[in-house]
Amino acid sequence: MTRSLRRTGVRAAAALAAALGLGAALAPGRAAAEPAPAWPAAPGAVLAFRNVHFESPRTAFDDKGRALMVFNCAPRGRGLFGRFHDLVCDGGSFHVREAGPWVGLQVAKSGAFTLEVTITPAEAPPKTRGVVLAYGDDAGEDVALLHDKTGLALRLAGAPPVELFAPEAGKPVHVLVACDRGTWAAYRDGQPVRSGTLAAAAPAWGRRQVVLGAAWTGADPWRGRIEGIALFPRALAADEAAKETAAIRPLMAGHKPATAVRFRGALVRQAKTADLEAIRPYTRSMTAAEYKVEQVLAGEWKEPTIVVLHWMIIDNKRLPLADRKPGAAVELTVERLDDHPQLGSCRRDDEVEGFADATPFYCESESAP
């Protein structure tokens, strides 16, 4: 295994985008280019993107209403891009840069909105409250989709949250909430589940920012996966909600599990993680580690050791994982690196004798069950 920084053509652009924290807007996968999906089926979205694959169609505008030339869904903290170019929230979040102000301007004009996401919670109910999607900034928050012990809830500025429904852990669910001035309606997988009136008329939105996986401040991180994000400056009707679910479902039909191994073991050695200054302009980097496999808990693995890539620099911060000593006990779920094409342009430290002949694995979350 050698450092795989591809510096030609689109690969080079993707590598630089990842280095600068621009997300996976340019990151190619190994699959062939997708045909333009029919999602969103409803017209009039002011923000819509299925995932961050560089070829996936998207709708996003700058503050003048012009289509954004560069779409930037930037990860913050432990926000990662998944193998299907979805958003993986593991204590971090994502900021949809530059697209937020236009969303607020259009919702302020109409006095109505619809938010749509497809989520896969890592746990349900969660141990602590998390924010799936928020529209806010340092000055305040206009709306947030929450997930707590009672389930999903919608929080509007100046009003108590309204309960929606309880999703299941590990199961994708299409969530759509439509608000038209003083009324709201929630849909689960295209079916109406709850509706009602708001305690107060929904306030006009400001020129704020769209953030996914936490509040704008980074508080209340949510754990799970997000894709199919859309915002409309109108309240979608029930038949439109059903069509949105029908449109996104076939696009996710190919989401098959990766080849995974869960094991208990101990650190044998790991490559040296480069200094922060040495990797600039990159802001994130992975490092390879070798473990002695003491017990296989799930999956199949017959070798005495296994090589795993971990994130050890995130947002210009060196993680404690980078300074572990041999013998450190672990229990990890890892997946074959070949099942994660989104990592092809990411920087890594893996030049250690003997690693070149190993089958590399990837650890998306050291705390995953």
Q: How many residues does the chain have?
A: 369
Quote the mean pLDDT of the chain: 89
Percent of the chain with pLDDT over 90: 81
Predicted confidence (pLDDT) at residue 82 exceeds the cutoff of 80: yes
Structure confidence at residue 339 as a pLDDT band (50, 70, 90): very high
Residue 15 or 141, more confident: 141
234: its two tokens: 């109108």
Prediction pTM value: 0.88
- According to the model, what pLDDT value does residue 1 have? 38
pLDDT for 14 = 43
Residue 75's nearest CA partner among 340, 315, 346, 366 is 315
* Fold exhibited by the domain 31-252: Jelly Rolls (2.60.120)
Q: What is the pLDDT of residues 129-165, one digit of tens each?
A: 999 999 999 999 999 999 999 999 999 987 889 999 9
Chain Cα centroid distance, residue 323: 27
Average pLDDT for residues 347-362, to the nearest whole number?
Answer: 87
Q: Where are the domains of the chain?
A: 31-252, 260-362
Instruction: Name the 3-class secondary structure at 90.
Output: strand
Mean pLDDT of 287-308: 97
- Using 50, 70 and 90 to split pLDDT, how confident is the model at 368? low
Q: Output the pLDDT for position 201.
A: 63
Which pLDDT score, from 0 to 100, does residue 202 have? Answer: 65
Residues 6 or more apart whose Cβ sits within 8 Å of residue 292: 265, 266, 267, 268, 304, 305
Nearest residue to 132 via CA among 122, 120, 143, 144: 144
CATH number of 260-362: 2.40.50
Contact between residue 133 and residue 210 where contact means Cβ atoms under 8 Å apart: yes
Measured on CA atoms in the order 208, 222, 77, 59, is the torsion positive or negative? negative
Cβ–Cβ under 8 Å, residues 85 and 29 = yes
pLDDT top residue among 358 and 200: 358
- pLDDT above 70 covers a percentage of the chain that reads 88
Q: Over 70: is that where the pLDDT of 15 sits?
A: no
Q: Which helix (H) or strand (E) holds 15?
A: helix 9-19
- Residue 29 pLDDT greater than 70, yes or no: no
DSSP 286-338: EEEEEEEEEEEEES---SSEEEEEEEEEETTEE-GGGGPPTT-EEEEEEEEGG
Output the CA–CA distances (angstroms, integers) from residue 369 to 27, 123, 257, in the order listed: 28, 10, 15
Q: What is the mean pLDDT of residues 329-350?
A: 95
3 state DSSP class of 146 = strand
Whether residue 172 has a cis bond before it, omega within 30° of 0:
no
| Average pLDDT rounded to a whole number, residues 317-327 | 96
Confidence of residue 355 (pLDDT cuts 50, 70, 90): confident
Distance of CA 334 to the CA centre of its chain: 18
Report the alpha-carbon distance of residue 290 to residue 30 in Å, rounded: 26
Write out pLDDT tens, residues 206-252: 999 999 999 999 999 999 999 999 999 999 999 999 999 999 999 99
Cα separation, 1 vs 288, in Å, equals 10
CA 157 to CA 177: how far, in whole Å?
A: 16
Q: Report d(CA 358, CA 354) in Å as an integer.
A: 7
pLDDT-based confidence at residue 182 (cuts at 50, 70, 90): confident
Average pLDDT over residues 82-97: 97
